[in-house]
Amino acid sequence: MIYLDNAATSFPKPPEVAAACLDYLENIGASPGRSGHRAAAAAGRILYRTRKGLAELFNFPDPGRIIFSENATGALNLALFGLLKKGDRVLTGPLEHNSVMRPLRRLEGTLGLTIDILPTGTESHYDLETLARWTRERNYRLAVFNHVSNVTGTIAPLDKILPLLREHGILSVVDGAQSAGTLAIDLQRLRPDVFCFTGHKGLFGPPGTGGLCLWEGIEPEPLRLGGTGSRSEAELQPEFLPDRHESGTPNTMGLAGLGAGVNFILKIGQEKITAHERGLAAILHRGLAEISGVKVFGPRPADRGLAVVSFTLNDASPAEIGFRLDREFSILTRVGLHCAPRAHRSLGTFPTGTVRLAPGWFNRKEEIEAVLSAIERIAGRGKRK
């Protein structure tokens, strides 16, 4: 089996991830903060070490302002529902995932939001001239942008976007579902107000893990209230972080695995992982462009792209291509709209979508060459252009 669906969920995981999950189940088992015994204390240390590792990986100054959630979707919901108010105006980009668009559309109906979607432009699909004009002329409360597109691997020019937002006092939320663990992230340099991430993709963690980094002074209203293991004498939610946003028993087993995944990245080195994955994606991008009838979408990985390559093939639906890759060649991909219809409308691939190939750290060059050969056979050409 050749697994090229790492943009959905990374596989395989480093052995340390499964070992950390198993160690929690077999040797700890307790809930953090719910008791004073040694097992509860050990569980609490798991959460602390995972926050500390994420803070180091993202260069974020305060581990206590890293809030755990079940995934990036949960983190984005907390940011958007917790920060936006009635009548607010919101800016977002042309390549957004439904984890952004669906909460915004719900709030459009319930709070009367005004949603402006930035048109596509020449720099990584972002029209920066329009962005500069709109931020001057329109009274935005918040802007939310996808750091890396899950359809094309396009990297948003946050180094240009975020200073504009700060200049005009606009809150910034970054969807880092695809960038966390696949791209070096320096939050002290970028300074988004909220950075959302998931654990099960580039961070090599188990499903059901993720969170958000809240910059100092950013205080969304909590979405969920209940037991935190702290201030149990009070019937009101604690106001301090991270407890304010972490009601209920946490996924300590999953967070143990996430911590192990983060440590794996720190040990290998983020730059080394990024270079390897980008190198494989570059081979795919170049090889696909040489196959007659294939159209590749998005920037070259060597320019402003990460290890996500989408393509279509003349006279063949993405679903058919994905089915044949799986059944005839044991190559696992993702096809369709990738939960990002806004991005596909921008690319002109709506409603059928694309075939998405997303190599990861554990893929090798020989597998990529085998994938290209399989697509050549499906294309019925036998040879590249």
Residue 5 covered by a domain = no
Q: Given a cut of 80, is residue 328 above it in pLDDT?
A: yes
- For the chain, what percent of residues have pLDDT higher than 70? 97
Q: Given a cut of 90, is residue 13 above it in pLDDT?
A: yes
Question: Does residue 147 share a domain with residue 193?
Answer: yes
Please identify, among 201, 233, 268, the residue that sits at the C-terminal boundary of a domain.
Answer: 268
Q: What is the pLDDT of residue 303?
A: 67
Question: Does residue 274 share a domain with residue 263?
Answer: no
Domain region containing 274: 269-379
Question: Does residue 359 share a domain with residue 249?
Answer: no
Question: Does residue 273 share a domain with residue 263?
Answer: no
Who has greater pLDDT, 158 or 304? Answer: 158
Range of 35-44, 240-249, 323-332, 376-385 with top mean pLDDT? 323-332
Q: What is the pLDDT of residue 302?
A: 67
Residue 38 covered by a domain = yes
CATH of the domain at 348: 3.90.1150.10
Question: pLDDT category, 120, cuts 50, 70, 90?
Answer: confident
| pTM, two decimal places | 0.95
Question: Does residue 212 share a domain with residue 63?
Answer: yes
User: Residue 170: CA atoms inside 13 Å, Cβ hemisphere, count?
Assistant: 28
Residue 7 covered by a domain = no
Question: pLDDT category, 287, cuts 50, 70, 90?
Answer: very high
Averaged pLDDT for residues 80-84: 98
Please identify, among 237, 268, 299, the residue that sits at the C-terminal boundary of a domain.
Answer: 268
Name the domain count of the chain.
2
Q: What is the pLDDT of residue 232?
A: 87
Question: pLDDT category, 123, cuts 50, 70, 90?
Answer: low
Question: Does residue 304 share a domain with residue 249?
Answer: no
CATH of the domain at 56: 3.40.640.10
What b/e string do you get for 131-154 counting C-beta neighbours within 10 Å, with b at 16 or more? beebbeeeebbbbbbbbbbbbbbb
Q: Given a cut of 80, is residue 304 above it in pLDDT?
A: no
Please identify, among 247, 268, 289, the residue that sits at the C-terminal boundary of a domain.
Answer: 268
Report helix, strand or coil for 10. Answer: coil
